[in-house]
Chains A and B, each alone.
Chain A
């Protein structure tokens, strides 16, 4: 086959030309014989169609056709390159915009549990309804319907929409129940949609309000442990890209490598025991009501590891409500403060235990060393130390039992100020406890250099320094724990191994002294816990205000049970108790009953076996046979009726 033959197209005209018979030849073809061929009809009248006899330059024609084809091919290739290479990103992007969607995967905030797994703070899904005013403003006729569903005033809503007509987003109502939100969306009002969100609920409300704090409207921690553990609790929302079909259903993963898995917030298990927390809260409410007090705190610690079992304050607030539950905004801060950790009080006589620990450590004093407190006052430099009554010649134990300021001051005066400061500092005063609570106060312990003899006297019996209830509980836990001080913690299992602050022998001696306090003829008979031995110390202090002391008192009790093998320590501070008589402000009157009440319940809840079984059947608290021997005051003037007559008493 030659090249020429290859391109020999069998056009009828060409063939006719090629096969044209010499003139005069007998027509042989079908056409010549009159037969009709398919193209004969195209031209209509057969007679008018004549085969053209033009000469065709086949080569040129071929070249032109080939050129056109080549151009077309080139154009196709250029276009292909353009599509596949140059503008590839643009088209891919356009395609993705139509089919690929990023789905957000929610990651809720972690739940906070108490030590027994009861939820204290839970995030649940809610829906916020939002509107696009630029769309909604064209459907103002449906506003009343929408307002009714939302439960708001129609005029106000209409105004809100008109004012923001140029905006694209406005929240109509936030944090609705998901079912209610769906009902609103079912109305099908254009420009109204929902946004899934999470809201924090606190099932125990105001009982746990101060410790947990709260979250803001966007579910970020803003107070308390919610703030302190915000990082830990917060979840990171993930996302995944999917290809959607016509109906908007996700049909395929776009690129698994691009997907971001959500990181749900981690759950936090606190050391708090919900039931003890409730007991403490109820006891605190009761004490404040009974003594017409203003505010107060209770802290309960586990002696063995420093875990905080309960921490309650009054006044409280409802963390589930926006404004804390109808609290005037001026008072809100006062209601929301976790006083047990952030507020300081002068600890009063409760500090005598620390003074005496310092005295025992100095070697100058033994538990049965004598100290003369006659005649119930002591002039030291220009300061007069008062006792609430003259308790005469006491042992060191008796100073604790009868809470003698004179005795404590005299013992303190025999020590160097550095010795005393060191002991106070070792028990954690003047420093934050390290519990990690945001805004915790370090209290105030003046440095030893600033102590004059009078300051040293007052600090010996707990004035001139300030502590938080948490610090107080912690220090007494160290005594009860044989001299090992733990860092208090809010997290279950988060306690440290503790550090020894005082010799076990000294701690045990102080514990024995503190056990004499809870006896029928001592300062805190009302702190007795039936069937258990207990130890503790009362304290009463004026509330410092405007540079002086007003006639408003802090009533303090801090103690531990069971005294033979301490498990729990509680510090109770109640402020502003009203009464006409000093007895009505005293720690032994106001705070001690709350101690008894909380501890009875807590010991039962924790299944702590009773250690005072001897008194079991009689039901009442008996004398504690293991307590240090009571030193009866030598002065016969221990008539209780004189108690109220001494103005600046400080038991």
Chain B
């Protein structure tokens, strides 16, 4: 009877020890995940800022492309600098399928 009590007490101590270790582990876990979440949050913020910046940059480049590709300018270069002409009907061949 007494031995059984002792064994039960030992098991009790052990369980408490395990739980204690669990609690401490948990506490460290909380600290760690919190830290990690903050780090990731900052990273996320920075990345979304970067994304927005790149989006704007893209818009700006698109605008620049549209300005550079302005048909008036292209025509001027084609006709003036490169001496291109639109083919007259006389020197066009129609291929019928």
Contact = CB atoms under 8 A, between A and B. Distances in A.
A326 B89 CA distance: 42
B67 to A, nearest CB: 5
B56 A250 contact: no
Main SS at interface, chain B: helix
Given A122-B59, A613-B94, A203 B67 contact: yes
Contact of A617 (B37, B38, B86, B89): B89
Tell me which of A106, A203, A252, A613 has the highest count of chain B C-beta atoms within 10 A of its own C-beta. Answer: A203
Contact of A619 (B69, B86, B90): B90
> Which of B60, B88, B89, B96: most chain A Cβ within 10 A?
B89
Interface in A255-283: 274-275, 278, 282
A278 B71 contact: yes
A275 B71 CA distance: 7
B71 A250 contact: no
Contacts of A617: 89-90
B63 A122 contact: yes
A124 B59 contact: yes
Contacts of A119: 62-63, 66
Contact of B94 (A122, A125, A610): A610
Interface residues of A, number: 33
Contacts of B96: 613
A346 to B, nearest CB: 33
Given A106-B52, A530-B89, A619-B88, A124 B70 contact: no
A204 B70 contact: yes
A616 interface: yes
Given A204-B70, A616-B89, A619-B88, A252 B45 contact: no
B47 to A, nearest CB: 13
B37 to A, nearest CB: 7
Interface string B72-97: 10000000000000101110101010
Nearest to A279: B71
A531 B66 contact: no
Nearest to A601: B86
A203 B70 contact: yes
A250 B72 CA distance: 48
Given A125-B56, A252-B41, 7 more contacts: A106-B52, A122-B62, A124-B63, A201-B63, A250-B45, A251-B38, A619-B90
Interface of B: 37-38, 41-42, 45, 52, 56, 59-60, 62-63, 66-67, 69-72, 86, 88-90, 92, 94, 96
Interface of A: 106, 108, 111, 118-119, 122-125, 201, 203-204, 242, 249-253, 274-275, 278, 282, 530-531, 604, 610, 613, 615-620
